[in-house]
Amino acid sequence: MGFRVPPYWWPFLVVSSPALVPWAMSKNRRFKGNRERAARANRERIEAAGPLPLPALEKLELTVVSEFEHEDGFMGEPGVSYFLRTDRGALLYDIGFGPQHPTFANNASLLGLTMEAADALVVSHLHADHMGGVKAQRRRRVTLPEAFGPAGGKPCYLPDTAEAEGFDVRITDGPRMLEGGIASTGPLARALYFLGLTEEQALVAHVKGKGLVVLTGCGHPTIEVILRMVRRLSNEPVYAIGGGLHFPVTTGRVNYGGVQFQMIIGTGKPWWEPVTDEDLTRTIRAIRKEEPRRVLLSAHDSCDHALGRISREVEAQVDVLKAGATYVL
């Protein structure tokens, strides 16, 4: 494991400490308060949730538009976008870095996908790698590349307040059914040290004769919390778990100037506490407890070490999701 902040940055941090220390103390106080708020909100939301009328889908296909890993001829990025097809419709789940990086538009074109093919857009959470780039996050405005086509007034389901030009914006304030016979868990919260209180929604579907498919964006609330909510929505067995789990244990995918940003930002811990193998072990235990037959891992926010451990320690068919590939669930 390398340095999260390389040594050549240390003199700058020392010189800047008179300004950085008060700022960090203020951030820490806010982080502690947000952590208590998130725990309370999740507990109340899960307790209030009840069964959803999940239809038994005849088919569910997941086509990866954006991911860190990719098939030959496709582009990769540390962001995600998944296109879901069922016998009842289609959803686009997240849009990666959108127009900020050519990956989404390039791969969507190769796959023959436009917004016209989707019945709705679902954004897991309001971070740059899921809602269309850094500018989109700063403006709290979901942003699709123009080449993907107009929104056409279709629903855009968000877990928190934001804009999405051309869409019919709908805030998911709790579990609900969406288009395509797929459900949202509703927002689940996680306190992030630098990014504040983050709301994220996962997707749940019931595939006939198999069980539940649970799909996350980054998994910030933790898969343990997400699965507790899923258990309130349905008593069907979990067939598949897929998407991001956010485990940059040994390295991150987003590095600038040698700084391992994913190892510092978005972990749910204070910046000085790294994500550890012990944290990963707890998540592996939670996944194994559900006994899924399939696990589909996102490499956009988890290191190769974490992906390898999950692949070896979970007794299931494990795939690392690749842009350009379609997975039949």
> 261 or 324: whose pLDDT is higher?
324
pLDDT at 254: 79
- Model confidence at 272: pLDDT above 90: no
- Model confidence at 158: pLDDT above 70: yes
Rounded-to-integer distance, Cα 107 and Cα 83, Å: 12
Question: pLDDT per residue over 114-131, tens digit each?
Answer: 999 999 999 999 999 999
Rounded-to-integer distance, Cα 266 and Cα 250, Å: 15
Task: Please compute the mean of the pLDDT values over residues 261-282 and round it to a whole number.
Answer: 89
Cβ–Cβ under 8 Å, residues 154 and 208: no
- Model confidence at 24: pLDDT above 80: no
> 31 or 255: whose pLDDT is higher?
31
Rounded-to-integer distance, Cα 58 and Cα 256, Å: 45
pLDDT at 21: 60
- Model confidence at 65: pLDDT above 70: yes
199: confidence class by pLDDT, cuts 50, 70, 90: very high
Chain centroid to Cα 47, Å, comes to: 23
- Model confidence at 58: pLDDT above 60: yes
Token pair recorded at residue 263: 């190892």
Q: Which CATH superfamily is domain 36-46+53-321 in?
A: Ribonuclease Z/Hydroxyacylglutathione hydrolase-like (3.60.15.10)
Rounded-to-integer distance, Cα 120 and Cα 182, Å: 11
Token pair recorded at residue 194: 């630098």
Rounded-to-integer distance, Cα 128 and Cα 76, Å: 15
Rounded-to-integer distance, Cα 186 and Cα 114, Å: 26
The residue whose two tokens read 């598949």 is 240
Q: Could you tell me the residue ranges of all domains in the chain? A: 36-46+53-321
Distances (CA, A) of 323 to 67, 110, 221, 249, 305: 5, 11, 24, 23, 20
Distances (CA, A) of 113 to 63, 70, 71, 124: 10, 17, 17, 20
Give the mean pLDDT of the chain: 93
Orientation angle between helical segments 223-233 and 277-290, nearest 10 degrees? 20
Question: pLDDT per residue over 31-41, tens digit each?
Answer: 999 999 999 99
Cβ–Cβ under 8 Å, residues 194 and 265: yes
Which DSSP helix (H) or strand (E) runs through 259? strand 259-260
> What predicted TM-score, i.e. pTM, was given to this entire model?
0.93
